[in-house]
Amino acid sequence: MIPVRGFEGQNVAVLGLGRSGLSAARALQAGGAMVLAWDDNPAARDRAEAEGFTLRDLTRQGAFGDIASLVVSPGIPHLYPAPNPVIAAAWEAGVPVDNDIGLFFRSLGLSDWAGHDTPPRVIAVTGSNGKSTTSALIHHLLCAVGRESQLAGNIGRGVLDIDPPGDGGVVVLELSSYQTDLARALTPDVAVFTNLSPDHLDRHAGLGGYFAAKRRLFAEGGPDRAVIGVDEAEGRYMANQLAEGPADDRVIRVSVGRKLTGPGWQVFARKGFLAEWRKGRQVAAIDLRDITGLPGAHNHQNACAAYAALRALGAAPREIEAGLHSFAGLPHRSQTIAERDGVRFVNDSKATNVDAALKALLAFDRIRWICGGLMKEGGLAGLAPGLGHVAKAYVIGREAEGFALQLSGIEAEICTTMEVAVARAAAEAQPGEVVLLAPAAASFDQYDNFEKRGEDFAARVAALG
């Protein structure tokens, strides 16, 4: 645990008592604060009370009279589409509002690091797509090169649940826009921006607000090094804002769309090869094409970002290359779960929208595609560039017929259930083909979440024998 400092003997309110809220409450208490907890859900309040926390109804008039700070869980809106009433009341009372990420950066290393020969470091990763894979890959690579590493934030453990890092240790944080938007302290040593595409627009009042929330990770404290994906205009803008000139190697630009040139520090992937250029010359190259855990251009972008982060900490290219080959991938994200008779089975249940599913389709040459579920707004037209890779689609979900009607130009079989889809795809797949679960739809018509859907796919594949 990272005890939260600076509130000894003071009342601190915690709103939202899920994983991050309870973690924050424990860390505040460990640092000497008096925690006053609240959640609209009675069951959540009961859990907090069972742990010994004092409850206070923060919705009542005058609740903030003796409170020094309010700590808010990331799922609670603080500005758009409308401020939560409790947060609005804190504003009126002049009470500072923060979240667990802000508390983490405020408290990490305040008095514990004087005896370290090599100070610990924090790498923070944000962006729209690939955050989880990039964060997990950085963590994996650090372990592979012999560095102590902990993975936390939006993946792994809560940020305040981790152990205080040891000498030379590295904390890798995946941070969502909900987390970066509110944190009052954001001071990583290395900050990574993967890419930007529209998401959570209601919560941020549009794409500009969404990008502004991501940008705070780079603007609030200023990392020592910034790894910036520059395949979108927003990334190019941010790299330009952070760099003092063309040769400023505090900014490492990353691309999978083009070769990057110039006197600065660049890492890019083209046709499956990663290249690192610095001061106008190539210093390393890695063939990514046969790395099973990182298929497709979207994963090559993740590999470039993770490689750059490791290089920023001084790791050698060949050490990083070896670690890339041993990365198995994250569950439900382009995860190879089996190979049978020359057929590869890949679980990308996390591909819950058209953009993510398209990236999965483009990663393989000939696909038996299991798709379908609860369709999202906008239809399936965006999948068109990847349909040429599909030998046949096997459609699941309660809306299977309607989903299949939108897949023009390819053969589609209505299977409805995962059991039927896996059996049919496996029976018809030829050596060299991939049976790919990339639903392009939400899971809630048949499953509690995308993880359950991916687990069902894996179980059906395992049952094939």
Q: Does 128 belong to an annotated binding site?
A: yes
Q: Which residue has the tokens 């309010």?
A: 70
What's the token pair of residue 55?
């409850």
Closest CA to 341 of 453, 406, 432, 272: 432
Strands 343-347 and 335-340: antiparallel
Burial class (CB in 10 A: 0-12, 13-18, 19+), 305: buried
135 annotated among ligand-binding-site residues: no
| H-type alpha helices, 205-329 | 207-219, 233-242, 296-312, 317-325
Q: 127 a known binding residue?
A: yes
State the virtual CA torsion across 291, 294, 297, 303 in degrees, nearest 10: -100
Q: Is 133 annotated as a binding residue?
A: yes
Strands 265-270 and 273-278: what pairing? antiparallel
* 129 is known to lie in a ligand binding site: yes
Task: Give the CA angle between residues 374, 376, 381 to the nearest 5°.
Answer: 115
- Of 76, 73, 135, give the one whose Cα is nearest residue 100: 73
**What dihedral angle (degrees, nearest 10) is formed by the CA atoms of 113, 115, 118, 121?**
-10
Q: Which residue has the tokens 């460990």?
A: 30
Q: Please name which of 106, 317, 308, 100 lies closest in space to residue 190, comparing C-alpha atoms.
A: 308
Whether 397 has a binding-site annotation, put simply, is no
Alpha-carbon distances of 163 from 27, 150, 157, 290, 379, rounded to whole Å: 12, 8, 10, 36, 45
Strand 11-15 versus strand 34-38 pairing type = parallel
376 annotated as ligand-binding: no
Q: What strand order describes the sheet that includes 434-437?
A: 335-340, 343-347, 434-437, 367-371, 390-396, 412-416
Which residues make Cβ contacts (< 8 Å) with residue 164, sequence separation at least 6?
A: 2, 112
- Token pair of 222 as six digits: 């200023």
C-alpha 438, offset from chain centre: 18
- Show binding-site residues: 127-133
Indicate the annotated binding residues for ATP.
Answer: 127-133
